[in-house]
Structure 1
Amino acid sequence: MAPLPPPLAGVRVLDFSRMLAGPFCTALLADAGADVIKIESPDGDDARHFAPRAGGESTYFLMINRGKRSVVLDLKSEEGRRAVHELAAGADIVVENFRPGVTARLGIDYASLAAINPKLVYASISGFGQEGPLSHRPAYDIIAQAMSGIMSVNGPAGSGPNRVGESVGDLIAGLQATWAILAALHGRERDGRGQHLDIAMLDSIFSIMMTALSQYLFTGEVPGRIGNTHPISAPLDSFEAADGHLIIAVANDTLFADLAAAIGRPELAVDPRFATDQARKGNEAALKAVLEGWTRQHSVAEAVAALEAARVPASPILTIDQVVASAHAKARGLVRTVLHPVAGAIPVVPQPVHFLGSGELPIRPAPLLGEHTDEIVGNVAPH
């Protein structure tokens, strides 16, 4: 059978977003074949100015704006607004992450653009939503993390609150926006019109904290920081080996019996302290001491290999360079190479889902500032 075209081929996106949450969303849409037109001010997206740089271009910008076309417009000018309105007439999706109220002042808000094209799916990403007592506040990722509750459960026991080591507020909001856009596109096919989507970073982080919320909402117990351990099951933790640390993850009694046998201690499976998951969690410190008595006698590689042979989930703790160099990353195509007109051959990390009917989806580099202005603004007829 002939491969299918990219799933979003023929879909046009107007991208007014900058920095991370919105651009991550539109990069995912571009990966799936959408024509993403990035509308930038004459100074460009702030992310264009971040270090490090390759060929004078921000590598951060190159990573999260792959596959898009760049148009420079002054949205404060009548000419710029007119061009946007003409582009909106032929678009399917709009993505913006201005603070609430800014788009109305610029004349590119949902009401204005939907009056031109009622079929638009318009996604607004902000820190706290378009409505609510916090909607007026600006937000960076760390603020959304702080106010969502995730920092309160992240980090070692006894430590202060810890930020998750990636910009998960931006990235999760971008993911939430992406699925919501696709759901609204499907609804548009049924109903004949688009709608306005309101995505908040705080809400997006809060909604994924299933373990912590299941504890608090049903028991009233406020979860705290427990490091690498799991709040319910044991052993799920990091363990010291002769040359580093590894992860052992066991969440049922059958797996624990396999683990006990693999380390030469089958009697542990019937020890009353460890015979059930609840008992193991209640005696976690004693269990960790027993397990580290074994792991410290082996290298990480030896311990992981022995546990893998016993079908016990275990892994090394890899650094970023080790992940990139791994056979898994290479086989799965986690990092690909594209040719940029200034930076040359550069790595990109596209969305990770394999559309098996479409084959490997094409990936294009991030655009130069205003690279496609003449091409697009000079030809704004609906696609």
Structure 2
Amino acid sequence: MTRPLEGIRVLDLTVALSGPYGSLLLGGMGAEVIRVEAPGGSDLARTNPPFVGAEGIHFGAQRDGDVSLTNLNRGRNKKSITLDLKQPEGRALLLRLARECDVLIENMSEGTTAKLGVDYECVRAANPKIVYASIKAFGEPSPMPHLKGMDIIVQALSGIMEVTGERDGPPTRWGLPIADMVAPLYAVNGILGALIHRGRTGEGQQVMVSMLDCLASLLAEEHFDTMAGAGLPLRSGNFHDRLAPFGVYPASDGHVAIVAFSPDWFASLLDVLGRPELAEDPRYASRGARMQHAGDINALIAAWTCQRSADAVVRELLVERAVPCARVRTPREVLADPVLLQSGAVVRLAHPRLGDTEATGMGLPIRFSRTPSQFDQPAADLGSSNDEVYRTLLGLADDEIARLQAARTI
């Protein structure tokens, strides 16, 4: 059975996380991804600890033969070639490759593609039908041209940090690199839309995604400007007062998440707490009133949950009364969950370097009813597809390949 993007060839000029995650998604859906790096490697993610080597997984200095677990995770379902784009002949080879590709995806720093001569206009001249996807931190041209687009910087500028954390605490970084991971989701959506457009019209185009734009778009969902104008606090920690009771509460052996904003759920929760009369109390009888008295409600719930185990709370609320409730799980529990492993949301990484050492990687959380999709090809060694791409795809002769290798062009 063919995969959804079977027959689509992607030229991958990405580094770090936001770009490689986007090309990983395309590869998982069946696209042929050709990842381009400079001879010797140009992605700093290759030097991210932990490393996998003869001694298994370790956090020490990288030694000969060691590979980064980061690269084993992000480099799956991709071919690897080396090419020096700073050399004129390297740029010419890239444009030849672009003529054979449907998509180019890049996330280089602002101005780098133009400096190298591989920006959209140059690539479009070589292949007018190509879909050229660019992921940038702040757009291009950037309103902050001297600022590097690291995930925490984008989070800070997006406002997301200001609405994350405890009410009386500082702004808080998300526990995941949310900017780096959301932007490629939008980029892949844009690529697929552009491919559909090309299928109808024959026209290629550039798809542009800004990490800051993506996070600002998410921020706008909650109408924080309206709430700030009403004097409501922006940060509410583990609680969402507009939907009170809605939050995370302490148990005797961990924490539980409880949602009981609907009238039936709230009545059932009050019954468990032994306070059914509060359902008629004007302070709690409506969602608007509960929002103003969320602190009192949360204190009542916490006083009850902290006397019970998380499993006991879940049993009394969810199992016996159908009030949404769940134990807060650890990352280790989630990554070992047989249901998630079965669905393919998370997978066991397979690579010769790993041997019997177990490591978990990102899965493809999209399931198609007729077309299989998953990250099922291990990360390729740097330049391992040079022969296939240069000799077979571009038709270069043996002596020409030898000359390019000697010149460190490839």
TM-score normalised by the shorter chain: which range applies?
over 0.9
CA RMSD, 1 decimal: 2.0
Structure 1, residues 189-234: CA drift from partner, whole Å, max 9, x if none?
A: 122111112211111111112444x231587457522101114110
Corresponding residue number in structure 2 for 1:289: 299
- TM-score, normalised relative to structure 1: 0.93
Q: Secondary structure at the match of 2:243?
A: coil
Corresponding residue number in structure 2 for 1:369: 382
Corresponding residue number in structure 2 for 1:237: 247
Q: Distance in 2 between matches of 1:92 and 1:66?
A: 20
Deviation at 1:15, TM superposition (A): 0.7
Residues 206 and 288 (structure 1), Cα distance of their counterparts in 2 relative to 1, 3 Å cut: same
Is 1:216 the counterpart of 2:214? The answer is no
Is 1:322 the counterpart of 2:322? The answer is no
Deviation at 1:314, TM superposition (A): 0.9
Residues 375 and 359 (structure 1), Cα distance of their counterparts in 2 relative to 1, 3 Å cut: closer
Corresponding residue number in structure 2 for 1:342: 353
Q: Distance in 2 between matches of 1:216 and 1:362?
A: 41
Corresponding residue number in structure 2 for 1:271: 281
Count of residue pairs brought into register by the alignment: 378
Q: Secondary structure at the match of 1:378?
A: helix
Q: Which moved more, 1:341-350 or 1:5-14?
A: 341-350
Corresponding residue number in structure 1 for 2:316: 306
Structure 1, residues 242-293: CA drift from partner, whole Å, max 9, x if none?
A: 2221111123222212322344433232222221111111111211122123
Structure 1 gaps, min length 5: none
Q: Distance in 2 between matches of 1:215 and 1:75?
A: 45
Is 1:40 the counterpart of 2:53? The answer is no
Q: Is the 8 A contact 1:36 1:69 kept in 2?
A: yes
The partner residue of 2:151 within 135, 141, 146 is 141
Q: Secondary structure at the match of 1:152?
A: helix
Q: Distance in 2 between matches of 1:165 and 1:255?
A: 30
Residues 221 and 131 (structure 1), Cα distance of their counterparts in 2 relative to 1, 3 Å cut: farther
Q: Is the 8 A contact 1:41 1:74 kept in 2?
A: yes
The partner residue of 2:235 within 225, 236, 259 is 225
Deviation at 1:135, TM superposition (A): 4.5
Q: Secondary structure at the match of 1:297?
A: coil
Q: Secondary structure at the match of 1:364?
A: coil
Within 5 Å, give how 1:1-383 maps onto structure 2: 4-44=1-41, 45-55=43-53, 56-135=66-145, 137-212=147-222, 214-216=223-225, 220-221=229-230, 224-309=234-319, 310-344=321-355, 347-359=360-372, 361=374, 363-381=376-394
Deviation at 1:174, TM superposition (A): 1.1
Structure 1, residues 157-213: CA drift from partner, whole Å, max 9, x if none?
A: 11111111111111111111111111111111122111112211111111112444x
Corresponding residue number in structure 1 for 2:401: none
Deviation at 1:84, TM superposition (A): 0.7
Q: Is the 8 A contact 1:83 1:377 kept in 2?
A: no
Structure 1 counterpart of 2:381, one-letter code: L
Q: Distance in 2 between matches of 1:360 and 1:93?
A: 19
Q: Percent identity?
A: 38
Deviation at 1:360, TM superposition (A): 5.4
Q: Is the 8 A contact 2:73 2:349 kept in 1?
A: no
Q: Distance in 1 between matches of 2:226 and 2:88?
A: 51
Q: Secondary structure at the match of 1:63?
A: helix
Q: Is the 8 A contact 1:6 1:361 kept in 2?
A: no
Q: Secondary structure at the match of 1:209?
A: helix
- TM-score, normalised relative to structure 2: 0.87
Q: Distance in 1 between matches of 2:147 and 2:296?
A: 47
Q: Secondary structure at the match of 1:36?
A: strand
Q: Distance in 2 between matches of 1:324 and 1:33?
A: 25
Residues 36 and 47 (structure 1), Cα distance of their counterparts in 2 relative to 1, 3 Å cut: same
Q: Distance in 2 between matches of 1:258 and 1:150?
A: 34
Structure 1, residues 29-84: CA drift from partner, whole Å, max 9, x if none?
A: 11111111110012311101110011311011111121111101111112211221
Residues 206 and 99 (structure 1), Cα distance of their counterparts in 2 relative to 1, 3 Å cut: same
Residues 361 and 169 (structure 1), Cα distance of their counterparts in 2 relative to 1, 3 Å cut: closer
Structure 2 gaps, min length 5: 54-65, 396-410
Q: Distance in 2 between matches of 1:319 and 1:20?
A: 23
Runs of 4+ in 1 over 6 A off after TM superposition: none
